[in-house]
Amino acid sequence: MTVFGILGSVQALSGNRPARLPGKQRSVLGVLLLYPNTPVSLERLIDCLWEEPPASAVSNIHSYVTRLRRTVVPHLVTQDHGYLLTLERTQLDLLVFEDTLSRARGHADAGDLDAASDAYRDALSLWRGRPAEDALLTSSVAPRVALLEELALSARSDWTDVRLRLGLHEELIGELRALAEAHSLNEGVWRQLILALHRSGRRAEALEMFGQVRTLLASELGVEPGTELQRLRAAILGDDAVLARPERETVRLVPRQLPPAVGRLIGRRAELKHLDELSAARVILVVGGAGVGKTTLAVHWAHRVAERFPDGQLFLDLRGFDQAQPMSTAEALPRLIQGLGRPAEDIPVELEVQIGLYRSILAGQRVLVVLDNAAEPDQIRSLIPPETGSRILVTSRDRLSGLVALESAGRITLDVLDPDAAVDLLADTMGPDRIRGEPHAAARLAELCARLPLALRVAGARAASGPHRTLAQYVAELGDHDLLSHLEVEGDRRTAVRGAVGRSYEALAPAARRLFRLAGLVPNTGITVAGAVALAGHPPGDTAGLLEDLARVHLMTAEPDRYTCHDLLVAYAAERTEAEDSPAERETAVDRYLDFYLRTIVAAGEHVDVRVVGPAPDGPVTEVTPLSFGTAADASSWLDQEWDTIAAMIARAAERGPHPMAWRLADALRDVMSWKRPIAECLRVAELGLKAARAEQDGLGQGAMLMSIGYVRWRTADLDAAIDAYRQALPFLRRAGWRAGESAVLRASGVALAQAGTPEQAVNRFRRALAIDRELGNRAGETSSLGNLAALYLDLGRLRDAEERHRQALDAAVEIGKRRLEAVVRTNLGVVQREMGRLGDAFDTLSGSLSLGREIGSPYVEAMALESLGGVHLDAGRHESALQALSEAISVARSVENHDTEVRALIGLARAKIRSGAAGDADDHLAAAAAVTEHTGHRPNQVDLLLARSELASSRGLHAEALAHADGARRLAGDGFPLALGKTHSAVAAAYLGLGDPAACQEHCEEALRIFRRTGQRLAQARALITLGHALQSTGNEGAARSARRRAHAIATKADASL
């Protein structure tokens, strides 16, 4: 059953777990709870929620109510243009308060003052603050809130009268003083305070208090005290017997054992609120790691709610994680019973009898028992109070899950502070001026301390004790030396972070301690169960249990897919493994861990469909078992999740060894990394691997890493750097005898050489690679080499050869199941078909490539296919479709840093804008393309950019400028790019036509047509014929002009193209 609270924050608790009540849902529920079992109209709800209601107020309320019904109030019904929330009397604290208050008054009327006092206490303890204090409500609820608060004040006054009748005068004085200060014009409170003073033997003070009230009322209201106060003063002056202390007197020492709440509680507002929400539970747990501030939070909250527990607050350190033995139940119970007022001589010897006495004393009372530093659930169970108003608040480094499961304990897990709160705590320790003067150093200090409150307090105290040093100097000193040794205050061992962590460590079993130590040897990016199995060499089931043991005492934190710990814990683990484990054991553990990741990366690479050449041969051999993957999605997901760990391990191995593992891990990532990670990360990993290989003078490693660097440089379109890296790699790979690697470098360098304008060298590289692939039986490499040759034939204008090679490569890719390679080849085949004027075939081929790229999750291929499809739409005159496809291509290409495709798409987008009549937007697109192209040396893109600029200038009537751009493109294309050469002549011809030189136009048109007839570029041929027709018509050769236009339109009609 869900129970609700309105006397304070708005609450909905199911099994002691608070429901999430966001924003206006909380407000709506708050209004309904203020008027329980009463229909609340829509008009009233609107008035209570908005001072100025929006036009959508009614529909908004319907939406909020629908969500509330789904979560906490399924029984909320619509009634009379409003809503009715029907609740049992025990379901809402307001209704329980009313019933308990009625019972208290009944007991008082019957003369049962003890029962009346208990009932009043129970009723008023339900008040946690102002009604609906955390709900955003308007002033419309103010009368209702004021009425409830007045009811509470009246109940407190009645309770005070009962306790005065019971003779509890002395212990009421403090409470009444606070009430009088809060309600200074309430004469009833003053009357009770003056009477309590008089009956406590403080007659003069009582009369002085009356004088203060008289002065207050005169100054505030201009009136004399009322009749009751006047009569009370007269009775005191006359020593009236009616004021004598009641014969029955109950004087009991109320325990107030809480330690002082020292200083401000910083950064724990949400946690305090969470504790308030858990306060309905009999057992409340605050758990977390060493030094995280559990006791500080618990003590602050206990002081904050102390008035809810008028029968006292007990505090006991159970020594759960301490140098001394944990406190047993037999030791704890006598201390608690004495704290509750029983003399030591009255405490029975038998443990079971002690438990019964303890529970009997607490029955009917409201006591808060704070048990600090518990070790395990069994320390707590016998100390849990009975089902009355008492609560037990426990702190522990253990998660105490048994208490949650079996005792319905509410639990809050305390973590380190957030960055801002950590800096605020430093400011509280060393003064805000130093923090304001060096904010960056303060933020760095907070991170060095892992934002752990104990470490922050210690570091702040040490920094404050040396004001002659800047904070930056202190931070540098911490970073250069033994951090844990600096995080203690001389002469106070309780402040040592090392000691606090050590007590948790010593509480573990030996196997768990060993696993924790070994975790200090590897990068602090979190450790998975599988990784821990490799590191420690234990079976998976045992290892999972050990990790849970570490998480139980908060030396690690259980995340959804791994276990993590902050840097100070890792520093302690590194200390312990250095002290307790032999060098050989440490080295073996690291080797197992690195090899596990190396083998698993290789296994993942077999699934993600991008590998053409596997990792370098002759890797290390250990007894670890790598993960296996059922699907490509599983493999890809693992690579994403583990990237931070893998990158950190490569950096660690490059710096500290073993060096071969640095380059082997980077090499295993070669193919998968390039399609999944930003280029800067790929380059950093490859350079770290190269550094490690050079440190070992490892030729195979150097060759493998130079190959990776060349590929990354090619992806950034830095062709010269890519070619140089491939040139350096080849001798290393040949000497090492890695033929598959040699073939891969030949293929990759051929692509770069072709794009740099040296197609003859590229052809030589491709043919040598193809021969090696066929010799090795490497079908993936052979398919890739065929695809590269086909792409080169396209650039050389050998379209029929290009189509044939592409079809061979496509069949091979399908046969061997390389779907990503298949998608790339399909895209290039679509480009060939477009150049051949077969737009329908090109559209079908490219649509298939786009679908395949999206299906396999390759945005790189997706961008290529979109750019090529945009070109097909543009040729067909579908300008809107072209704009859409090219814009999307730019976005996708940028997301994966595919600069080559980005440039081509920007140029295509500019052409689409020109041809759709929006040439003004084309400049920015061409400028963006130029910003990339001018640094790359990518000749085909440079040619295409000049052609687009020529077209833009012609559209604006700037024919001389158009000629300059077109002629520049012609000179570039003449050096090895026949596919573009004919188009450059066409552009030159169009410029001459605009300049009024039909003879020059005709000359370049004829040259373009000669090239197009040889290459088979049918659409380009049709466009050249249109230009030729205009030149012939301007010279009066009408018949030849008509013939040229007729031939052009026949080609375009067959291709379904636009001229």
| Residue 429 and residue 354 in one domain | no
The yes-or-no verdict on residue 249 having pLDDT over 70 is: no
Q: What distance in Å separates the CA atoms of residue 212 and residue 67, rounded to the nearest whole number?
A: 55
How many whole angstroms separate alpha carbon 924 and alpha carbon 780? 41
Residue 358: inside a domain: yes
Looking up residue 57, the CATH number of its domain turns out to be 1.10.10.10
> Do 1 and 147 share a domain, yes or no?
yes
What does the pLDDT read at residue 927?
92
How many degrees, rounded to 5, is the angle at CA 236 between CA 233 and CA 238? Answer: 110
The rounded distance, in Å, linking the Cα atoms of 234 and 445 is 67
- pLDDT band with cut points at 50, 70 and 90 for residue 244: low
In a domain, 185, yes or no: no
* Structure tokens, 1002: 């005709």
pLDDT higher than 70, residue 797: yes
Tell me the residue range of the domain where 383 lies: 269-414
Sheet holding 77-78, edge to edge: 40-41, 82-84, 77-78
Residue of 900, 531, 969 lying closest to 715 (CA atoms): 900
User: Is the pLDDT confidence value at 493 over 80?
Assistant: no
Q: Do 376 and 398 contact (CB within 8 A), yes or no?
A: yes
Question: Has residue 461 got a pLDDT over 80?
Answer: no
Q: CB 25: neighbour CB atoms within 10 A?
A: 22
Give the 3-state secondary structure of residue 376: coil
Beta bridge partners of residue 82, listed in sequence order: 41
Residue 494: pLDDT band (50, 70, 90) is: very low
C-alpha 542/C-alpha 540 separation (Å) is 6
Tell me: pLDDT of 15 over 70. no
> Cα–Cα distances in Å, from 235 out to 198, 243, 359, 798?
10, 7, 44, 121
801 has pLDDT over 80: yes
Average pLDDT across the chain, whole number: 87
Q: Which uninterrupted H or E stretch holds 494? A: none
Tell me the per-residue pLDDT of 705-743, one tens digit each, with 9 for 90 and over: 999 999 999 888 788 999 999 999 999 999 999 999 999
CATH of the domain at 308: 3.40.50.300
Residues of the chain with pLDDT > 70, as a percent, come to 95
Residues 410 and 423 in one domain: no
Tokens describing residue 898: 């595919």
CA distances from 689 to 655, 658, 697, 709 (A): 10, 11, 12, 10
Residue 16, pLDDT above cutoff 70:
no
Q: Using the predicted structure, report yes or no on whether residue 344 has a pLDDT greater than 70.
A: yes
Please write the tens of the pLDDT for every residue from 68-107: 888 888 888 888 788 988 888 888 999 999 889 888 888 8
Which has the minimum average pLDDT: 609-618, 643-652, 669-678, 881-890? Answer: 609-618
Q: Is residue 595 part of a domain?
A: no
pLDDT of the residue at 807: 94
Residue 892 has pLDDT above 90, yes or no: yes
Q: Please, how many CA atoms are within 13 Å of residue 621, restricted to the half-sphere of its CB?
A: 2
Choosing from 462, 495, 528, the residue where a domain stops is 495
For residue 948, pLDDT over 80 is answered with yes
Q: Identify the pLDDT of residue 1028.
A: 93
Average pLDDT rounded to a whole number, residues 128-140: 89
Residue 38 CB: number of other CB atoms within 10 A?
A: 11
Per-residue model confidence (pLDDT) at position 24: 87
**CA pseudo-torsion sign 206, 207, 208, 211:** positive
Grade residue 905 by pLDDT with cuts at 50, 70 and 90: very high
Is the domain of 334 the same as that of 481? no
**Residue 644 is assigned to a structural domain of this protein:** no
Give the separation between CA 179 and CA 203, rounded to whole angstroms.
20
Cβ-in-10-Å burial (0-12, 13-18, 19+) of 468 comes to exposed
- What is the model's pLDDT at position 810? 92
Consecutive H or E run containing 1006: helix 998-1015
The per-residue pLDDT for 486 is 63
CA dihedral over 929, 930, 936, 937, signed as positive or negative: positive
Residues 2 and 139 in one domain: yes
pLDDT band at 250 (very low <50, low <70, confident <90, very high): very low
The secondary element (H helix, E strand) that includes residue 41 is: strand 40-41
Assigned domain for 323 exists: yes
**Size (the chain), residues:** 1059
Whether 947 contacts 986, CB under 8 Å:
no
Residue 571 lies in a domain: no
Contact in structure between 770 and 799 (CB atoms under 8 Å): no
Does 109 map to a domain?
yes
% of the chain at pLDDT higher than 90: 42
Pairing of strands 391-396, 368-374: parallel
In a domain, residue 286? The reply is yes
Rounded to a whole number of angstroms, the CA Rg of the chain reads 41
Q: Is 219 exposed, middle or buried (0-12, 13-18, 19+ CB in 10 A)?
A: exposed
pLDDT, one tens digit per residue, over 833-865 is 999 999 999 999 999 999 999 998 889 899 999
Number of domains in the chain: 4
H-type alpha helices, 110-141: 113-125
CATH code of 991's domain: 1.25.40.10
Q: Omega into 978 within 30° of 0, i.e. cis?
A: no
Structure confidence at residue 491 (pLDDT): 45
Average pLDDT of the segment spanning 96-120: 84
| Three-state DSSP class for residue 6 | coil
pLDDT band (50, 70, 90) for residue 480: low
Whether 233 contacts 211, CB under 8 Å: no
Is the pLDDT reported for residue 162 higher than 90?
A: no
Report which DSSP code applies to 256: B
- 355 exposed, middle or buried (CB, 10 Å; 0-12, 13-18, 19+)? middle
Q: What is the pLDDT of residue 251?
A: 42
Domain boundary among 495, 523, 543: 495
Are residues 378 and 488 both part of a single domain?
no
Structure tokens belonging to residue 369: 């028992």
Q: How far apart are CA 638 and CA 669, in angstroms?
A: 13
* Shared-domain flag, residues 425 and 321: no
Last residue of one domain, picked from the residues 414, 438, 463: 414
Claim to verify: residue 403 and residue 449 sit in the same structural domain? no
Placement of tokens 């009346």 in the chain: 116
Least confident span in 88-92, 691-695, 969-973, 1017-1021: 88-92
Determine the Cα–Cα distance for residues 725 and 737; give it in Å rounded to an integer: 19
Neighbours of 780 (CB within 10 A): 19
Residues 36 and 77 in one domain: yes
Q: For 544-565, give the DSSP string.
A: HHHHHHHHHTTSSEE-SS-EE-
* 391-396 and 283-288 strand pairing: parallel
Q: How far apart are CA 1006 and CA 985, in angstroms?
A: 9
Distance of alpha carbon 369 from alpha carbon 356, whole angstroms: 16
Q: Are 820 and 846 in contact (CB under 8 A)?
A: no
Residues 664-675, mean pLDDT to the nearest whole number: 82
Identify the pLDDT of residue 481: 58
Instruction: Answer for the pair 564, 526: CB distance below 8 angstroms, yes or no.
Output: yes
Residue with tokens 């250069």: 480
Neighbours of 286 (CB within 10 A): 28
β-strand pairing of 82-84 with 77-78: antiparallel
Cβ neighbourhood burial of 607 (10 Å; 0-12, 13-18, 19+) = buried
The torsion angles phi and psi of 92, rounded to 5 degrees, stand at -130, 130
User: Are residues 438 and 343 part of one domain?
Assistant: no
Digit-coded pLDDT (tens) for 32-73: 999 988 889 999 999 999 988 888 888 888 888 888 888 888
Residue 216 CA to residue 187 CA, distance in Å, equals 11
> Which stretches within 494-631 are classed as H helix?
497-506, 510-519, 529-536, 540-552, 567-580, 583-605
pLDDT at 569: 85
Q: Are residues 13 and 144 in the same domain?
A: yes
Say how far apart CA 714 and CA 726 lie, in whole Å.
10
869 or 119, higher pLDDT: 869
Q: Report the 10 Å Cβ neighbour count for 519.
A: 28
Q: Are residues 148 and 42 in the same domain?
A: yes
For range 582-604, the mean pLDDT:
92
Q: Is the pLDDT score of 495 beyond 60?
A: no
The DSSP-derived string for 338-367 is HHTT--GGGS-SSHHHHHHHHHHHHTT---
Question: In the chain, what is the straight-line distance between the N-terminal and C-terminal CA atoms, in Å?
Answer: 75
- Helix, strand and coil content of the chain, in percent to the nearest 5, comes to 65, 5, 25
